[in-house]
Structure 1
Amino acid sequence: MEKELEVEEEKLRIRELTIDDFAEVFHIGEEIFTAEYSQNLYRTWDEYEITTLFNSDNELCLVAEAGEKILGFALGTTVEKHNSPWKYGYLIWLGVREEAQKGEVGNRLFHEIKRRMKEQGVRMIIIDTSADNQAALSFFEKMGFKDRQEHLYLSLNLSRRTKRKHVRKKTKS
């Protein structure tokens, strides 16, 4: 089995996402980015994000393929903050099919998107992941990410009814 993986890695090609890839990329993301995979996933996977990123930053929308099969993808964008001389790269999604996660697919996707961001003048790449996603944290630390910062988000459960105090106006008699 190891020899098969080596042969596949030799054939591995990183290229820009095309419209014809949308369905397969969506289904890979659907398999990976689930509530079961990460209980604290605050952002959900949807096809509209693929379309939006493709239309705005298609050169930062990549797929990894071996033969005719897409094994993974990376979707990113750049951000310029008002009153900041820096241009940031934001790697929004990096997904690799489960059977290809032990190979070089994720590494190759990351290095290619990093190269492209650097060509666009990016000085810092930002990623985010769930705090309990040890595989992703380990992967990104191996890619050189440091200075882990906690991200806080708040939620409001709208399915619970809040008790309202009824205030009656006094009327003059």
Structure 2
Amino acid sequence: MSQEVQHEEDAPRIREMIIDDLAEVFHIGEEVFTAEYSQSLYRTWDEYEITTLFNSDNELCIVAEHEERIVGFALGTTVKKHNSPWKYGYLVWLGVRRELQKLRVGERLFKELKRRFKDQGVRMIIIDTSADNEAAIRFFKKHGFDNVQEHVYMTLNLSKRHKKRPVKKQ
């Protein structure tokens, strides 16, 4: 099987997201961030995620466009902690149409967002993903992320009846 080489002129164009892109970005996110992707996704993919980031940090909301079609997006923000000299970049969402995930669209989006973070004085970029999202972990390690920290994340399914366990008396 021969590998297809992507020429620069064929590569998607990375640009700042505009208001007309919101619906398409939302639909790509619906396609990528499904219950099958992560049954316990702790951040819900919804229109508020996009509009909030677009309204607060629109220069950190970017899209990849190919042949006049949005094929991927990255949504970021910055965080400045009280009493800390550091400014952090937080890559909140990175999504690429499934059929194009092997064409380095995510890499191009990440590199552009990283450049924008640097321009804003960010000293460290933070991402988070599910511990079982091996593709995302590989992607971010490939781009220099390390110091993997696992955190406990718990859910309680309220649609199931839970029996109270008797407390043992001593």
TM-score, normalization by structure 1: 0.86
Unaligned ranges ≥5, structure 1: 164-173
User: Aligned pair in 2 of structure 1 residues 61, 41: CA closer, same or farther (>3 Å)?
Assistant: same
Matches of 1:119 and 1:25 in 2, distance apart?
24
User: What is the Cα deviation at residue 158 of structure 1?
Assistant: 3.5
Matched residue, 2:45 = 45
User: Aligned pair in 2 of structure 1 residues 148, 26: CA closer, same or farther (>3 Å)?
Assistant: same
Matched residue, 2:167 = none
SS of equivalent to 1:90: strand
| Structure whose CA Rg is larger | 1
Matched residue, 1:117 = 117
User: What is the Cα deviation at residue 162 of structure 1?
Assistant: 6.7
Matched residue, 1:57 = 57
Q: Which has the larger helix fraction? A: 1
* RMSD after superposition: 2.1
SS of equivalent to 1:132: coil
Matches of 1:88 and 1:80 in 2, distance apart?
6
Kindly provide the amino acid, as one letter, of the partner of residue 104 in structure 2: E
- 1:103-133 per-position Cα deviation (integer Å, ceiling 9, x unaligned): 1211110000000001101000000011111
Kindly provide the amino acid, as one letter, of the partner of residue 124 in structure 1: M
| Paired residue total | 163
- 1:125-152 per-position Cα deviation (integer Å, ceiling 9, x unaligned): 0000111111111111111100100022
Unaligned ranges ≥5, structure 2: 165-170
User: What is the Cα deviation at residue 11 of structure 1?
Assistant: 4.1
Q: Contact conserved, 2:40 with 2:155, CA < 8 A, in 1?
A: no
Kindly provide the amino acid, as one letter, of the partner of residue 61 in structure 1: C
Matches of 2:151 and 2:17 in 1, distance apart?
30
Alignment of 1:12-91 (within 5 A): 12-91=12-91
TM-score, normalization by structure 2: 0.88
